[in-house]
Amino acid sequence: MNPFTEQRTQQLFDRKLITENQFTQVKAYRKLGIFSLHAELKLFLYLSVLSFTTGIGILIYQNIDSIGHLAILAVLLVVTAVCYYISFKNSNRFSSALTSFENPIYDYIILAAVLLSCIFIGYLQFQYTAFGTHYDLATLIPTAMGLFCAYYFDNKGILSIAITGLAAYVGLSVSPQSLLQNEFYDTNTLSYSAIGLGIALIAWAIYSKHIALKKHFAIIYLTFGLHLIAISCINNLFQPYWFVFALILAATLFYFYKASYQYQALSLLIFTVIYGYIGANVFLFKIVEFVRIEDFLIPFFFMVPFYFVGSIILFIKLIKQFNKQKVQ
- 267 lies in some domain: no
Q: What is the extent of the structural domain holding 95?
A: 36-170
- Is there a single domain that holds both residue 127 and residue 45? yes
Residue 102: the pLDDT is 82
- Is there a single domain that holds both residue 44 and residue 163? yes
Mean pLDDT, 10 residues at a time, over the chain (328 residues)?
64 77 77 66 77 78 71 87 94 88 87 91 83 81 94 94 89 52 56 90 94 93 95 86 91 95 91 93 80 64 76 85 70
Chain-centre distance of CA 291, in angstroms?
A: 40
- Is there a single domain that holds both residue 131 and residue 15? no
- Is there a single domain that holds both residue 28 and residue 48? no
Tens of pLDDT, residues 192-233: 888 999 999 999 999 999 999 999 999 999 999 999 999 989
- 224 lies in some domain: no
Residue 327: the pLDDT is 53
Strand (E) or helix (H) holding 173: none
Q: How many domains does the chain have?
A: 2
CA neighbor of 115 nearest in space, from 169, 60, 71, 52: 52
- Is there a single domain that holds both residue 25 and residue 87? no
CA neighbor of 141 nearest in space, from 129, 128, 131: 131
Residue 246: the pLDDT is 92
Integer Cα distance of 95 and 322 in angstroms: 32
Cα torsion angle, 261, 267, 268, 274, sign: positive
- Is there a single domain that holds both residue 41 and residue 158? yes
Residue 179: the pLDDT is 45
Residue 224: the pLDDT is 95
